[in-house]
Amino acid sequence: GAVVSQHPSRVICKSGTSVKIECRSLDFQATTMFWYRQFPKQSLMLMATSNEGSKATYEQGVEKDKFLINHASLTLSTLTVTSAHPEDSSFYICSAIGTSGGEQFFGPGTRLTVL
C-alpha cells in the first residue's frame, strides 16, 4: 500500500520557538494532504487541507498564522508551528490522497512537546 512518512517522529522544544514537521508520500504523488491534531485520549481533529501549489484551507478555530502549511510538491507538505506554547503540545498526524483519489493514507505521527 501507499506509504506516508513524517519527520521528526518526536520533538521537544522550548516555548516561543518554531517547529517544522514534514510529511512525505513515499511511493505516490499526493495532490491533497491533510493535517490533524490529536490530544491524549481524544479523536483526530482536522486542522487543515492543503493542495499542491495552493494555499491551505484551515478548519474553523485553527490559526493560519500560527500553523503554517506549505505543500510545495506532490510528495511533500510541511507544517510549521510558530511561537509554540505548551498548549500546542500534541500528536500531529498528516495524511495524503493520491492523484487518482481513494482513501487517505496516514503518516505515523509526530509527538510535539513544548516545554
Binding site for other proteins (CB under 8 A): 1, 4, 6, 31-32, 36, 43-46, 49, 91, 93, 95, 97, 101-109, 111
Q: Which is nearer to other proteins, 16 or 53 (CB)?
A: 53
Question: The C-alpha cell of 96 is what?
Answer: 495524503
* Degrees, nearest 5: CA angle 43-47-69: 140
CB of 19 to other proteins, least distance (A): 18
Q: Which is nearer to other proteins, 9 or 18 (CB)?
A: 9
Dihedral Cα 73, 76, 77, 83, nearest 10 deg: -110
Which residue's C-alpha cell is 508520500?
25
SS3 content of the chain, % helix, strand, coil (to 5): 5, 55, 45
CB of 85 to other proteins, least distance (A): 22
CB of 103 to other proteins, least distance (A): 6
Q: Which is nearer to other proteins, 32 or 82 (CB)?
A: 32
- DSSP for residue 1: -
Residue pair 55/64 in contact (Cβ under 8 Å)? The answer is no
Q: Which is nearer to other proteins, 27 or 103 (CB)?
A: 103
CB of 105 to other proteins, least distance (A): 7
